[in-house]
Amino acid sequence: MSLTGAEPPTRGQPLKKLLKPLKRAAAVMAVASIAFSLQPTAASADVAPQRDIGPTVVGGTPASQGEFPFMVRLSMGCGGALYEQDVVLTAAHCVDGSGPDTSITVTGGVVDLSDPAAIKVKSKEVLQAPGYNGYGKDWALIKLAEPIDQPTLKIAESAELNSGDFIVAGWGADREGGSQQQRLLKATVPFVDDATCSAAYGGDLIDAEEICAGYLDTGGIDACQGDSGGPMFRKDEAGEYVEVGIVSWGEGCARAGKPGVYTEVSTFAADIKAGAAQLG
Ligand code: ARG
Q: Which of 228, 255, 261, 262 to mutate to test the pocket of ligand 1 (most atoms within 8 A of CB)?
A: 228
| Per-residue model confidence (pLDDT) at position 248 | 97
pLDDT at 269: 98
93 carries an active-site annotation: yes
Q: Is residue 81 part of a domain?
A: yes
Instruction: Indicate whether 273 belongs to any domain.
Output: yes
Q: Which of 133, 74, 126 is nearest to 99 (CA)?
A: 126
Q: Residue 145 sits in a domain of what CATH number?
A: 2.40.10.10
Q: Is residue 143 part of a domain?
A: yes
Q: Does residue 115 lie within any of the structural domains?
A: yes
Segments of the chain scoring below 70 in pLDDT:
2-60
Classify residue 144: in a domain, yes or no: yes
pLDDT of residue 27: 38
Residue 141: give the domain boundaries. 70-152+269-278
Q: For residue 227, which of 150, 174, 274 has the smallest C-alpha distance? A: 174
**pLDDT value at residue 39:** 53
- In short, whether 75's Cβ falls inside 6 Å of ligand 1 is no
Q: Is 148 a member of any domain?
A: yes
The answer as to whether 122 is a domain residue is yes
pLDDT of residue 241: 98
Q: Greatest CA separation found in the chain?
A: 46
For residue 180, what pLDDT is reported? 92
Please tell me the distance from the alpha carbon of residue 104 to that of residue 79, in angstroms, as a whole number: 12
Q: What is the distance in A from the centroid of ligand 1 to the CA of 232?
A: 12
At 94-139, the pLDDT tens digits run 999 999 999 999 999 999 999 999 999 999 999 999 999 999 999 9
The residue count for the chain: 280
Ligand 1: residue of 180, 248, 255, 258 to mutate (most ligand atoms within 8 A of CB) is 248
Total number of domains in the chain: 1
